Amino acid sequence: PSDNAIRVIRRSAEHMTSLIDGLLDISKIENGLLRLNRDVVQLPEFLDQIVDMFRPHAGAKGIEFRYSRHEHLPAYVYTDQKRLRQILINLLSNAVKYTEKGFVSLTVRCRSQVADIEIADSGCGIEPEDIERVFQPFERGRAPSVRSVPGTGLGLTITKLLTEIMGGEILVQSTPGKGTVFSVRLLLSEAKPD
């Protein structure tokens, strides 16, 4: 087979794998089978790792990656590291994916052991009638700029479910053609290193 055919097969396999993983995650959450871990996480270093993952990806698209964190973030917090990483990766990968020019930003603030995490972009935005739908399984925005980008339509469903199972909330504000802001609020209680 040609190189192109191999690339198509590989992309299809990756799509199917992410689809199956996503459905398994949703099934576990809905059936109460997902167990959260209580990890001690070095918060500033954890966030730096996430930023280091996305800054080159944004740069390759010619997008500015902005990162701002509150100077008084706790050094260590209790949280499920894997699930917090999944939430941030889902939101940031969407922001980069749907932004053709301008910026993607990650802002993290903590007050009274509550973290406010904001992922903003200057991308294509979400139509008002699609705002609630984007959290539904297999639903994606209906704008052509969204339809042309590959995706399973499960990332935001999983992100919302994980945020809620972790006792938090997720909100979205968007202006079509101007960008989107996802705000996640989570309890990240301060921890002492082991």
pLDDT digits (tens, 9 = 90+) for 7-66: 777 776 765 666 677 777 777 877 777 888 999 999 999 999 999 999 999 999 999 999
DSSP annotation of 35 reads P
State whether residue 29 is helix, strand or coil. Answer: helix
Of 17-26, 67-76, 138-147, highest mean pLDDT: 67-76
Task: State the Cα–Cα distance between residues 56 and 52, nearest whole angstrom.
Answer: 7
pLDDT digits (tens, 9 = 90+) for 156-193: 998 999 999 999 999 999 999 999 999 999 999 999 88
CA distances from 128 to 5, 46, 91, 139 (A): 38, 34, 19, 14
113-146 burial, b at 16+ Cβ within 10 Å, e below that, comes to: eebebbbbbbbbbbbeebeeebeeeeebbebeeb
Whole-number pLDDT of residue 184: 98
Whole-number pLDDT of residue 15: 59
Predicted confidence band at 125 (pLDDT cuts at 50, 70, 90)? very high
Task: State the Cα–Cα distance between residues 40 and 167, nearest whole angstrom.
Answer: 17
pTM for this structure? 0.83
Predicted confidence band at 102 (pLDDT cuts at 50, 70, 90)? very high
Does 106 or 155 have the greater pLDDT score? 106
Task: Determine whether 96 is exposed, middle or buried from the number of CB atoms within 10 Å of its CB (0-12, 13-18, 19+).
Answer: buried
Whole-number pLDDT of residue 104: 98
- Residue 114 pLDDT > 80: yes
- Residue 144 pLDDT > 60: no
Whole-number pLDDT of residue 65: 97
For residues 156 and 136, the answer to whether their CB atoms sit within 8 Å is no
Whole-number pLDDT of residue 140: 61
